[in-house]
Amino acid sequence: MPDQPDDNEVEERLREIIDRLDPVPERLLAAALDSYTWRTVDSELAELVLDSVAEDQAALVRGREDVRLLSFEASGLTIDIQVSSSGQGRRIVGQLAPPGPASVQIRQGSGVTDLDADELGRFRGPLRDGPFSLKCSAGEERTRSVVTDWITI
């Protein structure tokens, strides 16, 4: 056909349609710009090393409860958490290893929740929707601080 549009023309037309149909929502762009303020410069990063969703699909089928297990690791500190969802919302139950008291902060876009880990390194608290990260400050003076990778449940 003489008037057959070429690849680039087709692509540009499709790009226009998608631009109009599915742009990045404005509020998200604002949230992305704001993400910078969550940056910590003096904390060690605990990276995600285990996620029950990624590790064991069979368990998801077996499990009746809506429970997610996650593990974050920094040098010398492991943070294991279990997130359970129910009609009343979501809750985090966590365990620090090695065990010991610490200040734990749940960080979410909508705000922060301050918790205390007990002598055995256990803590628990509510979790709102959306991505979250934990900040743990341990040691005698709470001088050592670790933040986990952000994650979506």
Partner 1 sequence: MEQGEAGDLVKAAAQGDEAAWRVLVERFSSLVWAVARSFRLSTADASDVYQTVWLRFAEHLGRIQNPERVGAWLATTARRESIRVVRSRSRALPIEDATLADLVPPDETSPELAVLDAEQARLETDRAKQMWRAFRDLPVRCQQLLRILMASQRPSYVEAAAALDVPVGSIGPTRARCLRQLRRLMNEVSGNDSQPHTKKRDQLGDDRAGSA
Helix (H) or strand (E) holding 18: helix 7-21
Q: Which is nearer to partner 1, 100 or 109 (CB)?
A: 109
Residue 153 as a binder of partner 1 (CB under 8 A): the answer is yes
CA 50, 54, 56 angle in degrees (round to 5)?
A: 95
What minimum distance in Å lies between the beta carbon of 140 and partner 1?
26
Count the residues of the shown chain that bind partner 1, applying the rule CB under 8 A: 47
Q: Which two tokens stand for residue 11?
A: 């692509």
- Report the SS3 class of residue 140: coil
Q: Which of 133, 134, 136, 146 binds partner 1 (CB under 8 A)?
A: 133
Q: Which of residues 6-35 bind partner 1 (CB under 8 A)?
A: 7, 10-11, 13-15, 17-25, 28-29, 31-33, 35
Under the binding rule (CB under 8 A), the answer on residue 89 touching partner 1 is: no
State residue 2 phi and psi, 5-degree precision. -65, -30
Type of residue found at 81: I
Nearest distance from C-beta of residue 77 to partner 1, angstroms: 16
100, two tokens: 């010991």
